[in-house]
Amino acid sequence: MFGFGYAMVPLYDVFCDITGINGKTSRVVENKNQSNVVSDRWVKVKFDANINGNLPWRLKPQVRNMKVQPGQFYEATYIVENMLDVDIVGQAIPSVSPQIASLYFKKSECFCFVNQLLKGYETKEMVVRFEVDKDLPDDVSSLTLSYTFFRAKSGNS
């Protein structure tokens, strides 16, 4: 059962992937052709940004709202700024709400895939390329994509 406690970690990840718990959006999709645009349905996507703890960064989305058509790829830009004169590595964690929508929110390119290094006082534009799946349930008319930047763990030294 001790091992079971540990086994819960990967199991939980799989479980979250399937159910979309916590709005985790770990899926990466191939950047397919954009020929399969469907329907005249429009979905509102809100962009939100958070900084965790004492990371002296500023993060904000360039646009706060976007209307998108499911099945179509879009790009959104976040602006991130280091307010200190030292180099800092951060890691962005995405979260989508409502939870059910995270299953249908797919990113082909995202600054959250890897650690990000910002030099002292550096400002960077970071891009996320995403698609809302056309199977998005009908009752979801708007969703929120939220990023939180954490100070990256220093790794095992």
The contact set with another protein (CB under 8 A) reads 1-6, 8-9, 12, 16, 19-24, 46, 48, 50-54, 56, 58, 64-65, 83-89, 91, 93, 95-100, 113-117, 139-142, 144, 146, 148, 150-157
Please give the Cα distance from 29 to 17 (Å, whole number).
Answer: 14
Give whichever of 51 and 134 is closer to another protein, judged by the CB atom. 51
Of the candidates 89, 95, 132, 96, the residue with the CA atom closest to the CA atom of residue 114: 89
Output the smallest distance, CB 76 to another protein, in A: 14
Output the smallest distance, CB 74 to another protein, in A: 18
Output the smallest distance, CB 150 to another protein, in A: 3
Of the candidates 13, 3, 25, 33, the residue with the CA atom closest to the CA atom of residue 105: 25
Give whichever of 26 and 31 is closer to another protein, judged by the CB atom. 26
Tokens 């790794």 found at: 155
Give the CA distances from residue 44 to residues 2, 64, 68, 70, 106, in Å, rounded to whole numbers and listed in that order: 45, 10, 6, 10, 15
Tokens 């349905």 found at: 41
Output the smallest distance, CB 37 to another protein, in A: 23
Output the smallest distance, CB 28 to another protein, in A: 14
Other CB atoms within 10 A of residue 94 CB: 21
Give whichever of 71 and 101 is closer to another protein, judged by the CB atom. 101
Give whichever of 21 and 37 is closer to another protein, judged by the CB atom. 21
Give whichever of 35 and 154 is closer to another protein, judged by the CB atom. 154
Angle, CA of 92, 59 and 123, to the nearest 5°:
100
